[in-house]
Amino acid sequence: MDNIMEEIFALLDKKDYEAAVQLIKKNLDKRDSKFIEDLVPSLNIITDTAVEVVEKIMPSLLGILNFDDDVIRYSIILSLKKFVEEHKNLIFPYVEDFIKYGSPKKREGMLRLLKYVADTDPVSMVPFYDLIISCLSDPEEFVRKNAIQILQTVGKTDRNEIEARILKFLKLLKDESEIRMNDSEIVKTAEQLLAEKDKIQEISPEEQLLITAADRVLKKDSEGALRRASVDVAKSAADEVLKEIIEIKTLEQEDLERRELEAQSKALKEKLEEDEKKLELEKLKLEEEQRKIEEERLRQEKERLEKEKEIIEKRKELERVKQELELKRLEEEKRKILEEETERNRKRLKELEKEAADQDYEEI
């Protein structure tokens, strides 16, 4: 570990996270491959220590997807595999921007990272299906290749949904192609009109509308709104995916709508079945909760009855003790009365004996 990484970990130990963020960003911006190679293996440790640090450096970190040297770039992307698999939620917020607006290298790099996720957790890829499918018409072959690999992977677990979405995308491409042809005609007609018009000739309102429409088409193209490979290229890429997941030889145009409807129907059926399973599971959970509630109620009732029984037993015991004490008291009183009676009788006897003795003495 070099001095920079040691300094970063020292800042993390001190919980000086903002300083750590600034230091990491500063060195990432330098595009120092040695630093990046040291940083990437430590990302999991940094994330476990302070996830907010990694959240703040993600834009700079993902900037390496556009690294000039492809050898270093691919090596770095590969070294991110474990981190992405364990902390995929940290890259998800950047997926759309990178795929929609990123350079070809950024698009490919993000797709490679998503492939790691698809391999380990294909279900988490559902929100990105349409974005990835749109890459089947990417003008760059290496981007299309990565999109194909991801779709083949997730298609193994969600075949009908992927098929339905791909077929829908191909239909949209066909419609878009027709729009492009119409747009081309508009531009061509407008150019011919302007070429034929003399500068001093007045342009009619209808002709002005045509020129304005042509300007919009050209502006749309310049902004990259129609950045697509040909429909045939996209269809070929789609075929590669579909051949893998549904084992078809090729996708004929006349079958497109039929297969799209079939796939949508299957996907809907699977969703309904999945929903039914979820409802059944929820029902079982509810029944289990009710059973537990009933068991708890019975347990509490049993405890209540046992406590009542215990109280009754204690009351009986208390009453018995009271009765015994009362009996002892009565016996004690009786004993005292007998003793007092005996004492009185004894005294009375003595008195009688004395009286008799006195009488005998007087007679003598």
The CATH number linked to 52 is: 1.25.10
Q: Is residue 303 part of a domain?
A: no
> What is the token pair recorded at 234?
């996209």
Q: Is residue 337 part of a domain?
A: no
Q: How far is CA 258 from CA 108, 161, 165, 171, 263, in A?
A: 32, 15, 13, 11, 9
What does pTM read for this prediction? 0.60
- The DSSP annotation for 265-315 comes to HHHHHHHHHHHHHHHHHHHHHHHHHHHHHHHHHHHHHHHHHHHHHHHHHHH
pLDDT in tens, the chain (364 residues): 568 889 999 999 999 999 999 999 998 888 888 888 888 888 889 998 888 999 999 998 898 888 888 888 898 889 899 999 999 999 999 999 999 888 899 999 999 999 999 999 999 999 999 999 999 999 999 999 999 999 999 998 888 888 888 888 888 877 765 555 555 555 555 555 555 555 545 655 555 555 565 555 555 544 444 456 677 888 888 888 888 877 655 555 555 556 656 666 776 777 787 788 888 888 888 888 999 999 999 999 999 999 999 999 999 999 999 998 989 888 888 888 888 888 888 888 888 888 777 777 776 6
Distance, in Å, from the CA atom of 271 to the CA atom of 14, rounded to the nearest integer, reads 50
Q: Is residue 213 part of a domain?
A: yes
Q: Is residue 28 part of a domain?
A: yes
Task: Count structural domains, the chain.
Answer: 1
Domain that holds residue 124: 4-267
Q: Is residue 164 part of a domain?
A: yes
Q: Is residue 54 part of a domain?
A: yes
Distance, in Å, from the CA atom of 118 to the CA atom of 84, rounded to the nearest integer, reads 11
Distance, in Å, from the CA atom of 244 to the CA atom of 152, rounded to the nearest integer, reads 6
Q: Is residue 182 part of a domain?
A: yes
As separate numbers, helices (DSSP H) first and strands (DSSP E) second, the chain gives 15, 0
Q: Is residue 130 part of a domain?
A: yes
Residue 149 contacts residue 157 (beta carbons within 8 Å)? no
